[in-house]
Amino acid sequence: MFPKRKYSNGGDNREMGFKRQHIDSGQPPPFPVVRLRGLPFDCTEADVIDFFRGLDILDILFVHKSGRFTGEAFCVLAYPLQVDFALQRNKQNMGRRYIEVFRSKRQEYYGAIAHEVSDMKVGSPSRSAPRARSNDDGNDTIEHTGILRMRGLPYSAGKDDVIDFFKDYELSEDHIHIVLNSDGRSTGEAYVEFASAEDSKSAMRRDRMTLGSRYIELFPSNPKEMDEAISKGR
């Protein structure tokens, strides 16, 4: 399984070159993933994206051990060629920390995913809430309007992935809104309009389940919040 490419930055020409290289060599291209070490313990996905500014990131997986962040992460890039550019950031700083960047392999990345999912199943308290909830607590008491906000989506996720995540419900692509930033890139959030408030409340049982390697958080929302978030990316 190769992560789906969603971002383009002059990508059409590069993609054609990528395909030609694949055909000419007769070998599958190397999996474009790097491993980072020495990350600050309050590091966020936005920090990693900024560290690799200019590169196309498909997924970021923070590594935990016994429920604690290890300071390591895997970063999947859009093209094998971008791995070389990512390695040039080795020992550059993120805040006060200098970050080590290593070449990695597909098996290591998927092994880390398996470990994270296994760790979650064991019920480690600190892994049950991988992102701070702050003012989002108390979802059970919030009135449902038929709209849910998703947080923590893989950057490569599309509307079809959201439909599959909520496969027990009748959803159309027109009712799924992936939030983009001013650069047209996914923020990792999406809004989903269900057929009824009862359906959105029922769908909350999928809160903190995984989509690919990521834990998805769900929050009741409303049309005003959804419209404001969508308009920011326009």
Spatial neighbors of 141 by CB under 8 A, at least 6 apart, are: none
Residues 54-90 pLDDT 10s: 998 888 999 988 878 899 999 999 889 999 999 999 9
Do 104 and 140 share a domain, yes or no?
Answer: no
Q: Is residue 6 part of a domain?
A: no
CB 91 within 8 A of CB 100: yes
The pLDDT of residue 59: 87
Domain tally for the chain? 2
Do 94 and 172 share a domain, yes or no?
Answer: no
Which tokens sit at 101?
Answer: 């960047």
pTM of structure: 0.52
Residues 136-170 pLDDT 10s: 444 555 788 999 999 888 888 899 999 999 999 99
Cα 138 to Cα 197: distance, rounded to the nearest angstrom: 17
Torsion 147-153-158-162 (CA) sign: negative
CATH code for the domain in which residue 99 is found:
3.30.70.330
Q: Is residue 16 part of a domain?
A: yes
